[in-house]
């Protein structure tokens, strides 16, 4: 007698359900995809007990005839494809023919459907995958599917479901993502008979405001790029909107919600130091690509995809995101909170942030020109932007890193200075005209912040993180270009390392030398410091080196950083001027000049803001003048 036996369909469906139907949100996703494929322009989602008790999806799509309605609950029955070649030109969201069979096998399943040509609809009721009742029913055109008592016959699966709050959150995220991806569809959602939202507007930005707050859409970076290989459109969140979770990152490939590590990593790298450690930006991006170049048949849940040429996709995707970010002014304005507004006019506080960022309508000159002109009290005409393929060699000459102060030079009209077009400029409305030869108005507040007057209000700079940004970019450039940056000590300093410190030292010794540390072994775990970078304060050589190694080790254990990037961050953090250090006016001016000469002056290497602007309008509101 044969040992191997074919499993009954009902058993096979329950096994398949373990992959297709992982939780109530999986049911919602599969049913919504069917609604969209059916051509619906109105979809209602209703759940009870976080989907464990009831999931009902109502659409006004094409509906089904009796023969199709009976077949749709059969395993591997689908109207989306007819052969293997159809997978290369897939336009629909569904195609596997497994979802309804899997769902019906682990629930009390009811289907109501009517086409435009029928006067009476059809009702089918299944219990555990077995047809229990068939009848006629009155109803509107379209299909209604009700899933009750999910996993009632698979108690092990039901036991592993999370709390109602968790399961509800997963369902809400699925419905929200589809409502953003298909703004032409009217969406309505209920939970335990309470309406959560009703979206009629076809404008994505207005829908974002519904989910995230009234002023959320105003802080979006819009993207639109297209070529023969790839189209990219959508919105990026500005750094102040960063989150510790990735639920607010939506990637759609040919309008299919997907998860792809390469795309997530490319976005994270494009933001770079603008993000605080371990946080992620808001993302809503739609990528269009030839369906034959994408494999969506990776997993039954259809969330994972593969590109046939992932490197080419990344090489086109990353520069678009990076350029969109670079073209923004990330110096924040402080917003007056509602509780601080003493005027009689009501105001609404942002539901997600306390800082607002200003877009730059015309980015045309660099901030080294900007600040020189700001000091002189005048601004030149706009000049043509430089190419974004600016190389490190063009950014930094060997002389520009030879000391704490960048060399002075004559600034002429149209001269772009040392900085790149990542930087912004004050607008003519913001600039304070100073008489020729007059000192710019700069103050040091509590030996911690630099306050600069601009016409629209104040610009506040954190002196520590500003210097950290300057030192970080200088260190990165020095190490990459191998520029001489060492200053010999008259009296070498001896450093005795602990074992773990010496191991780290050996790991980064070559890059320390590139950075400007002239180090010589002197015994088993002892090193002589014979030269240091010229930014290192005299007398602090030993402490700086030890602190750098400790910071480097800490970063390496917590973060995934490239070795030189880690070293540059450790060096800048430990060597920057500290809060509480008094600066002369000339030192303040030098620091601001050097900050405006960096490529990204708005955040420190760890993602903290460097510059904040407070406008007169905001001050007036705080004092009840408006």
591 located within any domain = no
Residue 611 has pLDDT above 80, yes or no: yes
- Write 205-211 long-range contacts (CB < 8 A, 24+): 205/235, 207/179, 207/180, 207/183, 208/180, 208/235, 208/284, 211/176
Domain that holds residue 108: 9-201
158 located within any domain = yes
For residues 195-204, give the mean pLDDT.
94
Residues 232, 192 share a domain: no
At 385, the pLDDT band (50, 70, 90 cuts) reads very low
Question: Residues near 447 by Cβ (< 8 Å), separated by ≥ 6?
Answer: 579, 580, 581, 582, 583
**Which of 29-38, 89-98, 370-379, 504-513 shows the lowest mean pLDDT across its residues?**
370-379
Q: Please say whether the beta carbons of 42 and 59 come within 8 A.
A: yes
Residues 343, 240 share a domain: no
CA dist 369 and 593 (Å) reads 10
Residues 457, 481 share a domain: no
597 located within any domain = no
Total-model pTM: 0.57
Please give the residue that has the higher pLDDT: either 197 or 277. 197
Residues 214, 270 share a domain: yes
553 located within any domain = yes
Residue 348 has pLDDT above 90, yes or no: no
Q: How many domains does the chain have?
A: 4
At 387, the pLDDT band (50, 70, 90 cuts) reads very low
3 located within any domain = no
Residues 393, 347 share a domain: yes
Residues 195, 66 share a domain: yes
585 located within any domain = no
Residue 428 has pLDDT above 60, yes or no: no
Q: Express each pLDDT in 461-499 by its tens digit.
A: 999 999 999 999 988 888 888 777 888 888 888 888 888
The confidence score (pLDDT) of residue 70 equals: 92
Q: Please say whether the beta carbons of 587 and 593 come within 8 A.
A: no
- What does pLDDT average to over the chain? 77
Residues 29, 141 share a domain: yes
The confidence score (pLDDT) of residue 299 equals: 64
The confidence score (pLDDT) of residue 440 equals: 56
Residues 102, 148 share a domain: yes
Residue 402 has pLDDT above 50, yes or no: no
Please give the residue that has the higher pLDDT: either 498 or 288. 288
Residues 564, 472 share a domain: yes
Please give the residue that has the higher pLDDT: either 98 or 24. 24
Q: Which domain CATH number covers 109?
A: 3.30.565.10
4 located within any domain = no
Residues 474, 459 share a domain: no
For residues 252-256, give the mean pLDDT.
90
For residues 597-614, give the mean pLDDT.
85
For residues 432-444, give the mean pLDDT.
60
For residues 20-31, give the mean pLDDT.
90
Q: Express each pLDDT in 408-417 by its tens digit.
A: 333 333 333 3
Task: Examine the fold and report which residue of 156, 183, 201 is the final residue of a domain before the chain moves on.
Answer: 201
CA dist 449 and 377 (Å) reads 23
Residues 194, 216 share a domain: no
At 202, the pLDDT band (50, 70, 90 cuts) reads very high
At 246, the pLDDT band (50, 70, 90 cuts) reads low
592 located within any domain = no
Q: Which domain CATH number covers 302?
A: 3.30.230.10
For residues 121-129, give the mean pLDDT.
94
The confidence score (pLDDT) of residue 338 equals: 40
Task: Examine the fold and report which residue of 289, 308, 326 is the final residue of a domain before the chain moves on.
Answer: 326
At 150, the pLDDT band (50, 70, 90 cuts) reads very high
Residue 296 has pLDDT above 80, yes or no: no
Residues 371, 280 share a domain: no
For residues 562-575, give the mean pLDDT.
86
For residues 242-263, give the mean pLDDT.
79
The confidence score (pLDDT) of residue 544 equals: 86
At 577, the pLDDT band (50, 70, 90 cuts) reads confident
At 88, the pLDDT band (50, 70, 90 cuts) reads low
Strands, sheet with 54-59, edge to edge from the N-terminal-most edge strand: 130-137, 121-127, 108-114, 142-148, 54-59, 42-48, 186-191, 194-199
The confidence score (pLDDT) of residue 334 equals: 55
Question: 460: which strand partners?
Answer: 451, 612
CA dist 1 and 7 (Å) reads 16
């Amino acid at each position: 007698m044969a040992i191997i036996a074919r499993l009954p369909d009902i058993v096979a469906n329950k096994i398949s359900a373990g992959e297709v139907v992982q939780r109530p949100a999986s049911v919602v996703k599969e049913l919504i995809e069917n609604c969209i494929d059916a051509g619906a322009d109105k979809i209602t989602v209703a759940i009870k007990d976080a989907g464990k008790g009831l999931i009902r999806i109502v659409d006004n799509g094409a509906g089904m005839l009796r023969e199709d309605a009976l077949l749709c609950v059969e395993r591997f029955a689908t109207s989306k494809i007819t052969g293997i070649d159809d997978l290369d030109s897939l336009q629909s969201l569904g195609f596997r023919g497994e979802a309804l069979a899997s769902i019906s096998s682990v629930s009390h399943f009811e289907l109501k459907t009517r086409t435009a040509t029928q006067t009476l609809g059809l009702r089918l009721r299944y219990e555990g995958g077995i047809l229990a009742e068939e009848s006629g029913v009155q109803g509107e055109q379209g299909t209604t599917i009700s899933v009750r008592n999910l996993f009632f016959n698979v108690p092990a699966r039901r036991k592993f479901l999370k709390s109602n709050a968790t399961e509800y959150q997963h369902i809400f995220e699925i419905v929200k993502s589809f409502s953003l991806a298909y703004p032409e569809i009217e969406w309505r959602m209920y939970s335990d008979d309470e309406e959560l939202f009703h979206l009629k507007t076809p404008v994505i930005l207005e829908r974002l405001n519904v989910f995230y707050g009234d002023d959320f859409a105003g802080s979006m970076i819009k993207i639109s790029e297209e070529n023969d290989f790839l189209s990219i459109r959508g919105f990026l969140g500005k750094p102040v909107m960063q989150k510790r979770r990735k639920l607010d990152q939506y990637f759609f490939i040919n309008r299919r919600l997907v998860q792809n590590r390469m795309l997530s990593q490319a976005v994270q790298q494009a933001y770079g130091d603008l993000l605080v450690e371990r946080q992620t930006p808001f993302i809503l991006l739609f990528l269009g690509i030839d369906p034959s170049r994408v494999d969506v048949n990776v997993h039954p849940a259809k969330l994972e995809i593969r590109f046939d040429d992932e490197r080419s996709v990344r090489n086109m995707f990353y520069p678009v995101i990076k350029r969109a970010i670079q073209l923004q002014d990330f110096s924040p304005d402080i917003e007056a909170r509602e509780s601080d507004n003493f005027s009689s006019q009501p105001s609404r506080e942002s539901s997600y942030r306390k800082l607002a960022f200003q877009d730059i309508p015309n980015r045309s000159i660099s901030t080294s020109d900007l600040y020189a002109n700001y000091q002189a009290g005048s601004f030149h005409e706009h000049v043509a932007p430089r190419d974004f393929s600016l190389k490190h060699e063009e950014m930094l000459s060997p002389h520009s890193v030879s000391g704490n102060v960048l060399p002075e030079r004559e600034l002429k009209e149209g001269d772009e200075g040392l900085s790149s077009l990542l930087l912004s400029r004050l607008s003519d409305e913001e600039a304070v005209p100073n008489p020729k030869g007059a000192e710019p108005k700069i103050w040091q507040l509590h030996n911690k912040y630099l306050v600069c007057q601009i016409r629209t209000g104040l610009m506040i700079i954190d002196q520590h993180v500003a210097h950290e940004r300057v030192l970080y970019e200088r260190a990165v450039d020095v190490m990459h270009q191998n520029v001489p940056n060492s200053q010999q000590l008259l009296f070498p300093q001896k450093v005795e390392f602990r074992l773990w410190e010496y191991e780290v030292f050996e790991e980064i010794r070559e890059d320390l030398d590139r950075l400007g540390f002239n180090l010589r072994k002197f015994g088993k775990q002892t090193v002589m410091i014979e030269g240091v970078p010229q930014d290192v304060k005299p007398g602090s050589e030993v402490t700086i080196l030890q602190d750098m190694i400790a910071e480097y080790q800490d970063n390496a254990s917590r973060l995934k950083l490239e070795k030189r990037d880690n070293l540059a961050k450790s060096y800048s953090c430990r060597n920057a001027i500290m809060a509480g250090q008094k600066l002369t006016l000339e030192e303040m001016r030098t620091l601001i000049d050097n900050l405006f000469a960096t490529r990204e002056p708005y955040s420190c290497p760890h993602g903290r803001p460097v510059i904040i602007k407070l406008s007169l309008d905001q001050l007036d509101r705080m004092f009840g003048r408006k």
